[in-house]
């Protein structure tokens, strides 16, 4: 696959270096909403990534979280979250990463996610498996929801849209435990690696899930909407699992009590 992986890897690692060096030092925090913030490091890391991609593929489209994206007719689109886990980052909580995906004609064909603190580099190319630091990874073999270790997150408008509280409660009662770690991209990597058995969330953006969902699929996991239908990075719902507990998770998500 051309040198896409080399380029994505270099960009994610350079962004990771910026995140690591800036940790605990960032001063300017801007609020995009009451609880949705952006640090100067988000912007710095994003600029580094887009500069690397634009220099090599000026004709490719780019979708970014913070700055200006770019349209293009090449069929290729880079989807970038320079810092997933911004709230964690701003508080020095060591759970964040950079995420870069490449879409070709509407399908994600490559994803990389880099956690600079643990030096964990996750990568996947469509049809070629998923990897952590170059070693093949695969999802867990947990078969029962009650034995499962799950993760989720809450959208920034949680104060007005509280739908996930119901699901959170129901999963806490029907699994081994549920974590809310604040980086959807890392949650998906950990699922691909078998640290988590399942993950669900509402209202994520394409840059939160594009790379991570491919990593889960290539690690032989399953990614759908809450009803088991086709997953789109542009949709409102993501349900990802090791496949074995997927039906049970769907049943919990479809329950209306809580």
| Partner whose footprint covers residue 211, from Ca ion, ligand IPD, none (CB < 5 to 8 Å by kind) | none
Is 248 an interacting residue with respect to Ca ion (CB under 5 A)? no
C-alpha distances in Å from residue 160, one per residue of 35, 169, 180, 234: 12, 18, 19, 21
Is 115 an interacting residue with respect to Ca ion (CB under 5 A)? no
Judge contact between 20 and 116, C-beta under 8 A: yes
Q: How many helices (H) and strands (E) does the chain have?
A: 7, 14
- Span near Ca ion by CB under 5 A; candidates 3-11, 58-66, 150-158, 248-256: 58-66
Site for ligand IPD (CB under 6 A): how many residues? 12
Q: Which two tokens stand for residue 205?
A: 């953006």
Taking CB under 6 A as the criterion, which residues in 55-114 touch ligand IPD? 81, 84-86
- The beta-strand segments (E) located in 13-106 are 29-31, 37-39, 61-64, 76-84, 97-104
36: left (phi over 0), alpha (psi -120 to 50) or beta: beta
Is 154 an interacting residue with respect to ligand IPD (CB under 6 A)? yes
Q: How far is the CB of 58 from ligand IPD (least distance, A)?
A: 26
Taking CB under 5 A as the criterion, which residues in 186-245 touch Ca ion? 208
User: Of 50, 123, 170, 183, which lies in the binding site for ligand IPD, with binding defined by CB under 6 A?
Assistant: 183
User: Of 18, 53, 64, 81, which lies in the binding site for Ca ion, with binding defined by CB under 5 A?
Assistant: 81
C-alpha distances in Å from residue 67, one per residue of 18, 117, 196: 17, 25, 32
Chain residue at closest Cβ approach to Ca ion: 84
Specify the residue, 205 or 226, whose C-beta has the smaller distance to Ca ion.
205
User: Of 66, 197, 208, 248, which lies in the binding site for ligand IPD, with binding defined by CB under 6 A?
Assistant: 208
Helix (H) or strand (E) holding 240: strand 237-241
| Partner whose footprint covers residue 115, from ligand IPD, Ca ion, none (CB < 5 to 8 Å by kind) | none
| Partner whose footprint covers residue 153, from ligand IPD, Ca ion, none (CB < 5 to 8 Å by kind) | ligand IPD
Q: Euclidean distance between the first and final Cα of the chain, in Å?
A: 47
Q: How far is the CB of 235 from ligand IPD (least distance, A)?
A: 14
Q: Is 173 exposed, middle or buried (0-12, 13-18, 19+ CB in 10 A)?
A: exposed
Q: How far is the CB of 128 from ligand IPD (least distance, A)?
A: 25
Pairing between β-strand 130-132 and β-strand 120-125 as defined by DSSP bridges: antiparallel
User: Of 19, 204, 213, 239, which lies in the binding site for ligand IPD, with binding defined by CB under 6 A?
Assistant: 204
Rounded Cα distance between 26 and 37, Å, is 13
Specify the residue, 148 or 155, whose C-beta has the smaller distance to Ca ion.
155
| Partner whose footprint covers residue 197, from Ca ion, ligand IPD, none (CB < 5 to 8 Å by kind) | none
Q: Which residues bind ligand IPD (CB under 6 A)?
A: 81, 84-86, 153-155, 182-184, 204, 208
């Amino acid at each position: 696959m051309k040198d896409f992986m080399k380029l994505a890897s270099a960009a994610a690692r350079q962004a990771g270096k910026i995140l690591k060096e800036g940790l605990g030092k960032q001063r300017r925090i801007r609020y995009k909403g009451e609880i949705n913030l952006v640090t100067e490091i988000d912007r710095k890391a994003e600029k580094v990534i887009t500069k690397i991609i634009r220099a090599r593929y000026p004709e490719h489209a780019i979708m970014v979280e913070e700055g200006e994206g770019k349209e293009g007719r090449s069929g290729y689109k880079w989807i970038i979250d320079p810092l997933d886990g911004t709230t964690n980052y701003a508080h020095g909580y060591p759970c964040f990463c950079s995420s870069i995906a490449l879409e070709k004609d509407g399908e994600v064909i490559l994803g990389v996610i880099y956690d600079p603190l643990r030096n964990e580099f996750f990568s996947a190319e469509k049809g070629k498996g998923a990897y952590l630091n170059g070693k093949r990874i695969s999802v867990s073999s947990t078969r029962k929801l009650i034995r499962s270790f799950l993760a989720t997150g809450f959208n920034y408008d949680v104060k007005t849209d509280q739908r996930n509280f119901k699901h959170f409660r129901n999963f806490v009662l029907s699994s081994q435990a549920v974590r809310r770690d604040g980086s959807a991209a890392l949650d998906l990597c950990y699922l691909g690696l078998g640290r988590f058995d399942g993950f669900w969330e509402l209202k994520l953006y394409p840059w939160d899930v594009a790379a991570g969902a491919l990593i889960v699929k290539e690690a032989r996991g399953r990614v759908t909407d809450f009803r088991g239908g086709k997953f789109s990075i542009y949709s409102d719902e993501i349900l990802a699992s090791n496949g074995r507990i997927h039906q049970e998770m769907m049943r919990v998500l479809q329950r209306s009590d809580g």
